[in-house]
Amino acid sequence: MYEFVSGPLVWIAFIVFIGGSLYRIYNMLSSSKKEKVVFPHMSLKHSVASLIHWTIPFNNQYMRQRPIFTIISFAFHICLIIAPIFLLAHVILWDESWNMSWLTIPDAVTDGMTIMVIIGCIFFLYRRLTDPVVQNVTDSSDYLLLAITALPFITGFIAYHQLFAYKAILIIHILAGEIMLIAIPFTRLSHMLFFVFTRAYFGSEQGHVKNSKDW
């Protein structure tokens, strides 16, 4: 089982993730051409300006209005991306299989980051359950996406601390990671891919076409 999930399934997951992502982006770009104004309205300068502006915390009205949300959501997204990439155990796996390695972050830090991701998931779950606006637009898919996101981190945390059933948890952890990778291109987790594009377009339209700003 372990061999399967850590061998061929990893391949499949990464192929689906990368291939699927490329396909989704290609599909989005080509279907955007149907609307003749989209590309002529784009501007690199305003796209970059928008992206930089929106990736700095507290740089917008709503971020300042909602400090807790801002801190948690920034921390969540940063940790979500950084922790798995620079986790020592993951880099070792890459090194063993591909002879590739890169900088790692001390385990204590990645551990903290994992906790941060889990806190983020709990926070988002709490919002989904309590904020009337969010509640009103929440359906099962939103909970499922939250679960897909949380699971690799929860299991990773348990596995790292070897709290119980290490082998089984490890397999579930790998599986959960793979599910998440596969889900990214084909669910609304694809906001990870499209963020750059939607921001770039709105930034361009507000800045380049409408001579204003999108923040």
Our finding on whether 33 is near another protein (CB under 8 A) is yes
Shortest Cβ distance from residue 157 to another protein (Å)?
24
SS3 87: strand
Residue closer to another protein by CB (options 173, 199) is: 199
Query: How far is it, in rounded angstroms, from Cα 118 to Cα 145?
Result: 13
Our finding on whether 123 is near another protein (CB under 8 A) is no
Give the total of residues touching another protein (CB under 8 A).
52
Contact region with another protein (CB under 8 A), list: 93-101, 138-146, 152-160, 168-176: 138-146
Query: How far is it, in rounded angstroms, from Cα 196 to Cα 126?
Result: 27
C-alpha dihedral over 158, 159, 163, 167, to 10 degrees? 130
The continuous run of DSSP H or E covering 205 comes out as none
Our finding on whether 142 is near another protein (CB under 8 A) is yes
Contact region with another protein (CB under 8 A), list: 94-102, 129-137, 161-169, 171-179: 129-137
User: Of 194, 195, 193, 159, which Cα lies nearest the Cα of 176?
Assistant: 159
Our finding on whether 130 is near another protein (CB under 8 A) is no
SS3 197: helix
Query: How far is it, in rounded angstroms, from Cα 3 to Cα 139?
Result: 36
Q: Given the rule CB under 8 A, which residues bind another protein?
A: 27-38, 40, 50, 54, 60-62, 65-66, 69, 127, 131-139, 142, 188, 190-191, 194-195, 197-199, 201-203, 205-206, 209-215
